[in-house]
Amino acid sequence: MPRFEYAPAPESRSIVDIRSSYGLFINGSFVDPADGGSRKTVNPATEEVLAEVAEAGESDVDSAVRAARRAYDEVWGPMRGADRAKYLYRLARLIQERARELAVLESIDNGKPIRESRDVDIPLVAAHFFYYAGWADKLRHAGFGPDPRPIGVAGQVIPWNFPLLMLAWKIAPALAGGNTVVLKPAETTPLTALAFAEVCQQADLPPGVVNIVTGGGETGRLLVEHPGIDKVAFTGSTEVGRAIAKSVAGTTKRLTLELGGKAANIIFDDAPVDQAVEGIVNGIFFNQGHVCCAGSRLLVQESIVDDVLARLRDRMAQLRVGDPLDKNTDVGAINSAAQLERIRELSAAGEAEGADRWSPPCVLPDRGYWFAPTLFTGVSQAHRIAREEIFGPVLSVLTFRTPAEAIEKANNTPYGLSAGVWTEKGSRILDVAAKLRAGVVWANTFNKFDPTSPFGGYKESGYGREGGRHGLEAYLAH
Amino acid sequence: MTATALVDVARSEATLRAFLHGLPGVDQVGADARAAMLGTRSIKTTAKAWGIDLAIRMVDLTTLEGADTPGKVRALCAKARRPDPTDPTCPSVAAVCVYPTHVATAVAELKGSGIHVASVATAFPSGQAPLAVKLEDTRAAVADGADEIDMVINRGAFLSGRYLEVFEEIVAVKQACGEAHLKVILETGELATYDNVRRASWLAMLAGGDFIKTSTGKVQPAATLPVTLIMLEAVRDFRRETGRQVGVKPAGGIRASKDALKYLVTVNETAGEDWLDPDWFRFGASTLLNDLLMQRMKLATGVYAGPDYVTLD
């Protein structure tokens, strides 16, 4: 009996049309940067150069902010909520119409499997626009006073792990509230944001309401420090978040930060074990572990640790690592050489500090940035791999004996973005969830997202909430 | 847990109940999500051809109607031997599944073909008959030459918590089977919860069932992918505990090749490739076979010939 070998099932990339170079999207059209600077974006699965993308300098950021201000003062701010809603619904529908193209483009630029960009990212992007479109004419019922007003111009900086989804999280509530935006996508994943700029043109969105300035960290700094910005929203590393908080301190700018995490995924001995194993896998290997709320610390009750780990190893051996465009791929490419280096460095530290490293047999492609799904056992709270955010497909396993110890260990981190609890006992879920210092606690599931649900962190994972009714607050003066 | 310890669990109603209720719970949302994810696997070209041939070899070609006649059974047996009369490379099916009264006809028709004759028994489909009648039903089918017996469990007893009664009934039927293989139909559509599916699976395996089967096909819902997933987890875990491998048979409601391939993917990624064999996985189906044949022709010729080019039996 031969093995069941799944034949390659690649999604066609002919649906996307990647230009050789992209300008900045300012005031409704694509313009060249003032100093002509650019950088290349590559396909992390192949290292192939995809496009030259403009690098916005000081005068470019300035003209983007001015365009946003003008649009805010003259068009978008005064517009009736019901009319703003029409535009948002139109954006949502266009995203759905172009869903396949956007999914393929996201997978090419980011390295994530097409199954995730197709089934998770892009549907959620459309859902966020639909959801906030619904709020645009109902803001007075959102619980932020009888007549909440927009704040003005938002400067938004987003990460590379969910490029278009993070754009939706930022832009949809801002626009619903009557604000205009200047958004900087991550330097390694600008292409879907630029495709979104085309969607804005297609939707006849008034010029200047959405401006996209591409570039690296310096462009981001110019944007958040620009005096014409009223509100800064950042998702990314805690280190950069700290620098932004410092630069914003003493100004009138409002700030929300969604930063790193080192989430505990807690498996009690009465957990539904097969689904818990799925949840562990989904918690850490979803999106190659490039997830700020990833369940990167597995806390297993000691009495079942052998059984859980045996099942987990079997399950990890089923993960299909490879071509992000293959419809059967579970784990795609690491987003960049720099991130791959960081994952390698922290994994080496894990071994050096005495933890046991294991990966299933797994053939990685020769070109591109790849890292096999990795499991560390024998990890203690003192190890770097238990404390630092790896942001890769690396899981650290720790054990506990009692619920109190599980909670203590779960909270023993400077972060507090998310956590997971697995038990068949409802009362334990409620008790443990109330004691976890984390913005999101998933019960018998993990990495589930919905536009109606607020998301955000405790402690060094940031402040402010995105999503849901709560997500409107950051974009409303009241 | 050792095999000996497992024998002990049926020592009393209390020990059996404690064991079955001590099995890990099944989170329904999570199980459904896992099955849905496996359903997104894209099986194309060579993998599809391989899967379709395997699925044909796994079919228990079934007729279980009040209107069944020797003529109908003979036609079905001819179809079982040569599902596609135009193509000698097309494999034959695993078994023909009939009521006990038609076993003798099927045995005569399939002689020398290697195709098994399976018979439902034990007051199929309801199972609501005295034990003595169920055992006699089984013995009659075996005496007429059935290679496999598809029994139904006593769902009334199971749902009222009389697990030992269900267990002892399966043990008795297994004994009545003699050499014949025993498939135990859980009728998961009547068990309703996934926790019950897991418990009934273990109960049937502990009692000596050679196969666990989802449904009679007479109750809706019949086979579903999540239920089959849970049963595959059960046979995988049971082999890990005892070393004994038990087969799985989803039956009822699987009509399209695309669905059959989803089941094969689920087998592959849950129990593993050891189960990708007609000895360990079957499809209880009638209309599925023709769709498999049509897809097989399309792969071979590039043209979808349509239902007029497969035989209706």
Burial class (CB in 10 A: 0-12, 13-18, 19+), A420: buried
Per residue in A44-63, pLDDT (tens digit) is: 999 999 999 999 999 999 99
Binary contact (A6, B43; C-beta < 8 A): yes
- Please tell me the number of Cα atoms within 13 Å of B175 on its side-chain side: 12
Six-digit token string for A256: 């929300």
Summary mean pLDDT of chain A: 97
Q: Residue B103, SS3?
A: helix
| Helix or strand (DSSP H, E) at B27 | none
- pLDDT tier for residue B306 given thresholds of 50, 70 and 90: confident
Binary contact (A7, B277; C-beta < 8 A): no
Binary contact (B46, A5; C-beta < 8 A): yes
- pLDDT tier for residue A36 given thresholds of 50, 70 and 90: confident
Query: What pLDDT was estimated at residue A478?
Result: 79
Active site residues of B: 150, 213, 249
- Look at domain B27-300 and name its CATH class: alpha beta
Q: Using CB atoms, which residue from A4, A119, A275 is nearest to B30?
A: A275
Active site residues of A: 258, 292
On the question of pLDDT at B294 being above 70, the answer is: yes
Query: Closest Cα of chain B to A150: distance in Å?
Result: 39
Per residue in A220-236, pLDDT (tens digit) is: 999 999 999 999 999 99
- Distance (Å, rounded) from C-alpha B307 to C-alpha B313? 12
Q: What ipTM was reported for this prediction?
A: 0.95
Binary contact (B46, A7; C-beta < 8 A): yes
Q: Using CB atoms, which residue from B26, B40, B47 is nearest to A115?
A: B40
Show the domains of chain A with their CATH numbers: 21-259+459-477 (3.40.605.10), 264-443 (3.40.309.10)
Mutate to test the interface with B, among A275, A308, A315, A425 (most CBs of B within 10 A): A275
Query: What pLDDT was estimated at residue B71?
Result: 97
Order of strands, sheet of A48-54, starting from the edge strand that comes earlier in the sequence? A21-22, A48-54, A38-43
Mean pLDDT of A436-460: 97
- pLDDT tier for residue B3 given thresholds of 50, 70 and 90: low
Among the listed residues A9, A35, A459, the one whose alpha carbon sits nearest the alpha carbon of residue A215 = A35
* HEC secondary structure over chain A: CCCCCCCCCECCCCCCCCCCEECEEECCEEECCCCCCEEEEEECCCCEEEEEEECCCHHHHHHHHHHHHHHHHHHHCCCCHHHHHHHHHHHHHHHHHCHHHHHHHHHHHHCCCHHHHHHHHHHHHHHHHHHHHHHCCCHHHCCCCCCCEECCEEEEECCCCCHHHHHHHHHHHHHHCCCEEEEECCCCCCHHHHHHHHHHHHCCCCCCCEEECCCCHHHHHHHHHCCCCCEEEEECCHHHHHHHHHHHCCCCCEEEEECCCCCEEEECCCCCHHHHHHHHHHHHHHHHHCCCCCCCEEEEEHHHHHHHHHHHHHHHCCCCECCCCECCCCECCCCCHHHHHHHHHHHHHHHHCCCEEECCCCCCCCCCCCCCCEEEECCCCCCHHHHCCCCCCEEEEEEECCHHHHHHHHHCCCCCCEEEEECCCHHHHHHHHHHCCCCEEEECCCCCCCCCCCECCCHHHEECCECCCHHHHCCEEC
CB contacts of B34 in chain A (<8 Å) are 274-275, 278
Q: Using CB atoms, which residue from A4, A6, A270 is nearest to B276?
A: A4
Q: Residue B111, SS3?
A: coil
Chain B residues touching chain A at CB-CB below 8 Å: 24-27, 29-31, 33-34, 40-48, 50-51, 233, 264-265, 268-269, 273, 276-277
Pick the residue from chain A with its C-alpha nearest to B44. Answer: A7
- pLDDT tier for residue A409 given thresholds of 50, 70 and 90: very high
Mean pLDDT of B59-75: 97
Residue A4 touches partner B, C-beta closer than 8 Å = yes
Q: Using CB atoms, which residue from A6, A274, A279 is nearest to B47?
A: A6
CB contacts of B276 in chain A (<8 Å) are 1, 4
Which residues, in sequence order, are bridge partners of residue A257?
A: A234, A463
Residue A303 touches partner B, C-beta closer than 8 Å = no
Whole-prediction pTM: 0.96
Query: Closest Cα of chain B to A450: distance in Å?
Result: 16
* HEC secondary structure over B294-310: HHHHHHHHCCCCCHHHC
Query: Closest Cα of chain B to A279: distance in Å?
Result: 8
- pLDDT tier for residue A41 given thresholds of 50, 70 and 90: very high
Per residue in A410-421, pLDDT (tens digit) is: 999 999 999 999
Q: What angle do CA A104, A106, A110 make, to 5 degrees?
A: 125
Per residue in B70-113, pLDDT (tens digit) is: 999 999 999 999 999 999 999 999 999 999 999 999 999 999 99
Mean pLDDT of A454-468: 95
Binary contact (A272, B46; C-beta < 8 A): no
Report how many Cβ contacts below 8 Å link chain A to chain B: 70
Q: List phi, psi (to 5°) of B182.
A: -110, 120
Per residue in A114-148, pLDDT (tens digit) is: 999 999 999 999 999 999 999 999 999 999 999 99
DSSP string covering B185-212, please? Answer: E--HHHH-SHHHHHHHHHHHHHTT-SEE
Query: What pLDDT was estimated at residue B4?
Result: 54
Q: Using CB atoms, which residue from B27, B41, B276 is nearest to A275?
A: B27
Per residue in A349-358, pLDDT (tens digit) is: 999 999 999 9
Binary contact (B25, A272; C-beta < 8 A): yes
| Domain boundaries defined on chain B | 27-300
Query: Closest Cα of chain A to B274: distance in Å?
Result: 9
- Distance (Å, rounded) from C-alpha A209 to C-alpha A316? 45
